[in-house]
Amino acid sequence: MHRRRAGKDTVLSELLVVIPALDEEATVGDVVRAAREHIGGSVLVVDDGSVDETAAVALAAGATVVRHPFNLGVGAAVRSGLRYASEHGYTAVLQLDADGQHDPSDGRRLVERLHEDSADIVVGTRFGGNYRVRGLRRLGMRTLAKVVSTRLGTRLTDTTSGYRAFGKRAVDRLSRTYPSVYLSDTVEVLLMAGDWGFRVVEEPVHMHPRKGGRPSSGPALSTVNFLRLVLVIVLHDIRRPMSRRGGP
C-alpha cells in the first residue's frame, strides 16, 4: 500500500487515519487528501449523519467512508473508527478533525511517538505553539489538564484535544468501550487509560482557525459541558468500568 512513506517503526499499511465528520463537505476533501499525502496509511471518514455531501466528497478524495444512520456524536464516531481498525487488523489509529483545524503534517509525529515512547495514546496539544485561549475557557482547560495530569502521573496540557494517536493495545481495548457521551469522550477516555495502566504522552501540534462549517458551541453551552466533565471526573472512581457495549 503506502509503504513508501513508512517511518522508522511505523508500517503504514497498519495505520488507519480516522476522521470523524459532521457536515464538513467544505473541508473534508482537502483534509483527506492532505492526510493521504502527509501521513499515509488508509483513511477512514466516519460520517455521523451529515445532511450535506460529506460522504461523497470524502469518497471522491480517496477515503473509505462509514456512515452512521443518524447523529451519534464524536465519541461514537471515534469508537466506530477504532472498531473498524480493530476488526481490519490495523495496529495504530490517528484521529484527526475534518474541519481543517488540525494540520495533517503533524500526524506522522504523533504516530512515531507511539513507538518512540512505547505509548498507548499520544495526545496532540494545541499549547505547544501559537494557540491561545482566554478567560473562563482557559481556566476550564487548565483545571481539567491539572486534574487529569495528576491522576495519570504524566503532564498533559490539552485534555480535550481531538488530535490523537492510539497504539494497538488502546485500539483493541477502546474499540468496545470508547465513551460516546459528548465531551466525556475526550477526557473520560484518558481516565480509563489511567485505570488500565496505559502510557499517555503529549506532543505539540498546530491549530488552524476554522476554514468552513460552523463552530461547535457558545459560552453558555461550554459552561454546562464543563460542569458535566467535572461530574464525569468526580464520579469516575465510583462508577463501574465501561461495559463491553460502551455504557448506557
Partner 1 sequence: MSRLELFVVVVAVVNVAVVLEFVRRRKLAEGFALLWIGVGLAGVALSLARPVFDAVARAVGVSYGPSLLFTLALLFLLFVCMSLSLHVSRLSSRTEILAEEVAFLRAAQEPTVDHR
Ligand X SMILES: Nc1nc2c(ncn2[C@@H]2O[C@H](COP(=O)(O)OP(=O)(O)OP(=O)(O)O)[C@@H](O)[C@H]2O)c(=O)[nH]1
Q: Which residues bind ligand X (CB under 6 A)?
A: 20-22, 24, 46, 48, 71, 73-74, 77, 97-99, 101, 162, 210, 215-216
Q: Find the binder of partner 1 among 89, 219, 238, 244 (CB under 8 A).
A: 238
User: Applying CB under 5 A, does 186 fall inside the site for Mg ion?
Assistant: no
The minimum distance between CB 99 and ligand X, in angstroms, equals: 4
In the chain, % helix, strand, coil (3-state, to 5) comes to: 45, 15, 40
Q: Find the binder of partner 1 among 44, 205, 232, 233 (CB under 8 A).
A: 232
As a whole number of angstroms, the distance between CA 214 and CA 216 comes to 6
User: Applying CB under 8 A, does 184 fall inside the site for partner 1?
Assistant: yes
The minimum distance between CB 210 and Mg ion, in angstroms, equals: 6
The minimum distance between CB 59 and partner 1, in angstroms, equals: 18
Number of residues that bind partner 1 (CB under 8 A): 16
Binding window for partner 1 (CB under 8 A); candidates: 6-14, 141-149, 153-161, 229-237? 229-237
What are 172's three cell numbers?
A: 483493541
Q: Which of 81, 86, 87, 83 is nearest to 65 (CA)?
A: 81
Edge-to-edge strands of the sheet including 64-67? 64-67, 42-47, 15-21, 92-95, 164-166, 121-125, 200-204
- Whether residue 124 contacts residue 205, with contact meaning beta carbons closer than 8 Å, is answered with yes
Q: Find the binder of Mg ion among 99, 120, 188, 203 (CB under 5 A).
A: 99
User: Applying CB under 8 A, does 243 fall inside the site for partner 1?
Assistant: yes
The minimum distance between CB 184 and partner 1, in angstroms, equals: 6
What are 196's three cell numbers?
A: 488500565
As a whole number of angstroms, the distance between CA 227 and CA 153 comes to 23
Residue 19: in which H helix or E strand, if any?
strand 15-21
The minimum distance between CB 247 and partner 1, in angstroms, equals: 5
Q: Find the binder of partner 1 among 89, 209, 219, 248 (CB under 8 A).
A: 248
146 vs 228, which CB is nearer to partner 1?
228
Q: Which of 152, 151, 137, 143 is nearest to 220 (CA)?
A: 137
Segment 39-78, which members bind partner 1 (CB under 8 A)? 69-70
Residues 6+ apart with CB under 8 A from 174: 79, 82, 166, 189, 192
Phi, psi for 215 (deg, rounded to 5): -65, 160
User: Applying CB under 8 A, does 144 fall inside the site for partner 1?
Assistant: no
User: Applying CB under 5 A, does 101 fall inside the site for Mg ion?
Assistant: yes
Instruction: Using CB under 8 A, list all residues that contact partner 1.
Output: 69-70, 181, 184, 227-228, 231-232, 235, 238-240, 242-243, 247-248
Q: Which residues in this chain contact Mg ion in the complex, by CB under 5 A?
A: 99, 101
